[in-house]
Structure 1
Amino acid sequence: MFAFIYTLGIYLAQGVARLVALFHLKTRLWVKGQEQAWQLIERWNKEYEERKKGNINPKSKIANPESATPTFWFHAASLGEFEQGRPVIEACRRQYPTATIVLTFFSPSGYENKKDYDQADLVCYLPADAPANVTRFLDVIRPDMALFIKYEFWPNYLQELKKRQIPSVLFSAIFRPDQLFFKAYGGFYRNVLFCLDHILVQNQESENLLKSINYNQVILAGDTRLDRVVQIAKQAKTFPIIDQFKGDIPLLIVGSAWPDDLEVVFSFLNNFKHPLKVIVAPHEINAEQIAKWQEAVNAESLIYSELVKGSKNENASLLFLDTVGMLSSVYRYADFVFVGGGYRDGLHNTMEPAVFGMPIFFGQPYYQKFQEALDLLQLGGAQTVANAEDFGKVFVEVYDNEELRKQKAAICLNYVQKNAGATEKVMVVINSKFVMS
C-alpha cells in the first residue's frame, strides 16, 4: 500500500514540477534535464553497442566494452554531495582504469556544474523513481555496483537493485533520531534501508541508530568530504589579485553567503573600526543583489570581475567574488571565515576553510545536521553566532588575541588531518566485491 502511494506521489510530483517550471528556473532545468536524460542515456548505449561491434570512435569517453568492467553507478543529489563523493569516484577510476563510470544527479546544481566531468563516461539527471524508469535505466546501464552519496533513498531503485542482486552502497551517510527510519510508523522507509548491502556512516550516533533497527551492515568510516578538501588544499590556486587586495591587513572571508548571513556581517562591519579586509562570496551570484549589498555596507567595495579588468580603489576594504569555482582556493588567504547557510538554508562546507587552519564562525540554528560543525564547536575551533551583536563579541575576542586565533586555527586544521581517510574505507568495501585481474 505504501509503495503504491509513494509511486503515485512520484507521478504527481512530476506533473506539479511541469507547472512550477513555467515560472521557476531551477525546476525548469530539472524538467528539461529529465527529458534530456533519456536522450543522453540512449546515445551512450548506442555508442556502447557500436564499440562492441568494433566501431570505435576515438573521441569516445566510453571504455572498451571487452575490458570495461566493472560498471560503477554513482548517484549524488547535488553539487555538494558530488564533491563529497568525488574522492571515491576518482579512486575507482585510478584502481579500475577500464571501468565504466556512470554519474547521475537529482539537482540542477549538480548536473549543470558537472555535466562535463571527465572522470565519468556518462553524466545525466537520474530519471524519476517510477517503476518503468527504474527498469529501463538499469536495463541500459547494467551496473555492477550502485553507490549513493550521503542521502538519496529512492525506494523503487533500491528495491530493484536488490531484486537483481546488484550490490548497493551508501557512504558518508549521517542519520538522526527524528528521521522516518526510526519512527514506529516508518516501516516502509526502514525496509528501504535493508535494500542496501552496506552503509558507511560519518559518526557513532548514526551507527548506533542503524543497529537499533537491526541493520548491522554498517561501518563507521567518517566523511569522504574531508579527503576532498585535503585534495583541494594540495591543488589550491594562487590569486595575485587577492594577495594584493589583502596586503598586510587581516582578512575575513564570508563564504557561500546568503542574505541572512550578510545582514549579520554587514551590521557588524558598519560598527567595526579596526583594520580589516573582507571578501564576500555570495552563494548565488546576482549583479543587482551585489549592487544593493554595496549600498548597505559603509565600507568602500570592489567587484572581482571589475578588478580583473583593471578597476582600482586603494581605499576599498570589501571585495565581492562574482565568479564560480574560486572560493575553495581563496580560503587560503583568510585569517577568519564566516561560513554561510546557518541561519536558514543549511550550513555550507566548513571543511574547505578548516583545512587551511583558521577560526570559523557561522549562524544558527541550521548546523545540527553537519557532524563536522558539531565537532568543531565542541573542540573550540568554530563558534556559532545568533546575530550581529553576538558576532561582534566573539569576533573581537579572536581578533584581539593572536594566541587564541592560532589555537582555534590549529584545532580546525588538526581536525581535518585527523579525520581524513574515509575514502580508503569505502574502497575496501568496493574491492571486496571485485577481484582485480
Structure 2
Amino acid sequence: MSFIYNLGIHLTHFTLKCIALFNEKIKKGVIGRQNTFEVLKSNLSENDKTLWFHCASLGEYEQGLPVFKELRKYYKSHKIVLSFFSPSGYEIRKNSPISDIVVYLPLDTQKNAKQFLDIVNPELTIFVKYDIWPNFLNELKHRKLQAILISAAFRKNQSYFKFYGRELKNALFAFDYIFTQNEITKALLSSIGYNNVSISGDTRFDRVFSQLDLDNNLSFIESFKDDKLCVVAGSTWPEDEKLLVNYINSKAKKDIKFIIAPHNIKTTQIKNLQESLKVSTVLYSQKDDVSINEAQVFIIDTIGILTKIYSYADIAYVGGAMGSTGLHNTLEPAVFGIPVIIGGNYKKFPEAKAMIRNGGMFSISNQKELDTMLTQLVDNDSLRLDSGNKNKVFIGENKGAVIQIIDYLRI
C-alpha cells in the first residue's frame, strides 16, 4: 500500500480530531470510531459466524437495504455487522433491525483493517455503491474472504480511472464480483481489466417499490390534507424553500395544501421558514395541540416519515438540486405515481435524467419556472395524472437488481 495514501489517512485522522472541537457532527464520528473495537469485542465471540455490510451513509444504507433483508433470511444463524462512515448514517440507523451490531468504520489504516477483521472475520462482505477503502479491501483479499460491491456507479473522472489512483483501482480487484447500475460503469471497470461484473441496475428501485406493500397510513396527514390537492416538498434546503415560500405566499390557491419537510430541522431554520410564510401553518411538533386541518402548510420538523408522507402527495418537489448539495431521493415520491419537480443541478443523477426524458419529472431553474410548472400541474388534471403514471411505470420497469444479486449469492 502506498506510503502517500497511508500518510494521507493519518493526516485525515488528525484533521478530523481538530475539526471535531468545533463541529458536532464530526465529533460524533470521531468518538464513535474510538469505540468501534470495544463494541465489536463485547458483541462477538470467536465462534460467531458473521456477515459484514458497509455503507458510507444513509443513502447507501437505503440502497443496500433490500439486499440486506434478503440475506438476513438466508443467513439466520449469522450475526450481521453493519458499518457506516458518516454520522448521518450511523445516528439514524444505529438501531437497524437487519443487523445485530452497528458501528462506525474505523479509519482505513492497515492496523485498523487487521484488527477489525480479526474480530469480525466475515463470511461475506458487501460494500454499497463506491465507498472504497483500500486497506480494508486488500486485507479481505489477503485473507481470501468473499466480498462484493453492489449498485456500483462510477464516472470516468474518478480517481479509480486516473494514473494517480492506483491504490483505489487495485482495491477494486479485492471484490469477487461487482454489480453495476449501468453500462457506463461496466465499461469503465473493463477499461482497467476488471471483468467479474454484470449490470444488475440500481437496488434503490427495489427498495422504493417495496414501499407500496407497507402500511403508509398517517392519520394526522390525512386530517391535514382533508381531501384537498396536496403538494409535498421533501428534503428541502433554503434555496428550495425560498422559491416555494414565494409561490405559496403569492400564487397558490387557498384550497391547495402544502407539506414541507426540510432536510435541516434545526430550530432556528424551522422558525425562519415558518415566519416567512404568510398563510396558516402548523409544525409536526404542534400537531396534537391544534386543528391541523385548518392550516394550509404543514412543516415536518422531525425525521423518518417522509416516505410515507409522499403517499399522500398529488405533486412532489424534491430538494437539493437548486443548489450544490446534491439532489435527494426522487424515486421515493415517484413510486406513488405522482409528478416530481426538481432544481436544475441533476446531471449526476441518471434516474432524474431518465424520468425527465419520460415526462414524469420536471426541472426548474428559477422562480418563474417553478410558478409556471406548479400552476400547470395543479390546474391540468390530465397532465398531473399522466406524468405521475409515467414515473410509477418507470420504477416498475427498473426493479429486479436484488434478484440478480441474491441469485449470485444463493447457497
Give the TM-score normalised by structure 2: 0.96
Deviation at 1:297, TM superposition (A): 2.1
Matched residue, 2:337: 357
Question: How far, CA to CA, are the matches of 1:417 and 1:406 in structure 2?
Answer: 17
Letter in 1 for 2:8: G
Question: How far, CA to CA, are the matches of 2:183 and 2:373 in structure 1?
Answer: 30
Question: How far, CA to CA, are the matches of 1:207 and 1:346 in structure 2?
Answer: 24
Give runs of aligned pairs for residues 152-231 of structure 1, distance below 5 A: 152-231=131-210
Matched residue, 1:332: 311
1:69-97 per-position Cα deviation (integer Å, ceiling 9, x unaligned): xx211100111111111111110111221
Deviation at 1:315, TM superposition (A): 4.5
Q: Does 1:380 align with 2:359?
A: yes
Question: How far, CA to CA, are the matches of 2:242 and 2:343 in structure 1?
Answer: 11
Question: How far, CA to CA, are the matches of 1:347 and 1:362 in structure 2?
Answer: 8
Deviation at 1:298, TM superposition (A): 2.1
Deviation at 1:113, TM superposition (A): 1.4
Matched residue, 2:380: 401
Matched residue, 2:276: 296
Letter in 1 for 2:272: K
Matched residue, 1:282: 262
Identity rate, percent: 38
Counterpart of 1:73 (choices 52, 66, 69) is 52
Q: Is the 8 A contact 2:223 2:292 kept in 1?
A: no
Matched residue, 2:3: 4
Question: How far, CA to CA, are the matches of 2:158 and 2:9 in structure 1?
Answer: 20
Deviation at 1:26, TM superposition (A): 0.5
For the aligned residues, what is the CA RMSD?
1.5
Letter in 2 for 1:352: E
Q: Does 1:93 align with 2:72?
A: yes
Deviation at 1:236, TM superposition (A): 3.4
Deviation at 1:138, TM superposition (A): 0.6
Question: How far, CA to CA, are the matches of 2:115 and 2:80 in structure 1?
Answer: 18
Letter in 1 for 2:42: R
Deviation at 1:221, TM superposition (A): 0.4
Change (3 A) 1:313 1:240: closer
Unaligned ranges ≥5, structure 1: 53-64
1:382-420 per-position Cα deviation (integer Å, ceiling 9, x unaligned): 111112111112222222211111111111101111111
Q: Is the 8 A contact 1:252 1:276 kept in 2?
A: yes
Matched residue, 1:59: none
Letter in 2 for 1:106: F
Unaligned ranges ≥5, structure 2: none
Deviation at 1:426, TM superposition (A): 1.2
Letter in 2 for 1:415: F
Q: Is the 8 A contact 1:227 1:423 kept in 2?
A: yes
Letter in 1 for 2:381: E
Matched residue, 2:36: 37
Q: Is the 8 A contact 2:284 2:299 kept in 1?
A: yes
Question: How far, CA to CA, are the matches of 1:127 and 1:248 in structure 2?
Answer: 50
Question: How far, CA to CA, are the matches of 2:283 and 2:296 in structure 1?
Answer: 11
Letter in 1 for 2:398: N
Bigger drift between 353-362 and 281-290 goes to 281-290
Q: Is the 8 A contact 1:233 1:329 kept in 2?
A: no
1:266-285 per-position Cα deviation (integer Å, ceiling 9, x unaligned): 12222214232100011121
Secondary structure of the equivalent of 2:2? helix
Question: How far, CA to CA, are the matches of 2:275 and 2:269 in structure 1?
Answer: 10
Secondary structure of the equivalent of 1:270? helix
Give the TM-score normalised by structure 1: 0.90
Q: Is the 8 A contact 1:268 1:389 kept in 2?
A: no
Matched residue, 2:15: 16
1:171-229 per-position Cα deviation (integer Å, ceiling 9, x unaligned): 01111122122234433322222222211111122122222222211110011111111
Bigger drift between 242-251 and 350-359 goes to 242-251
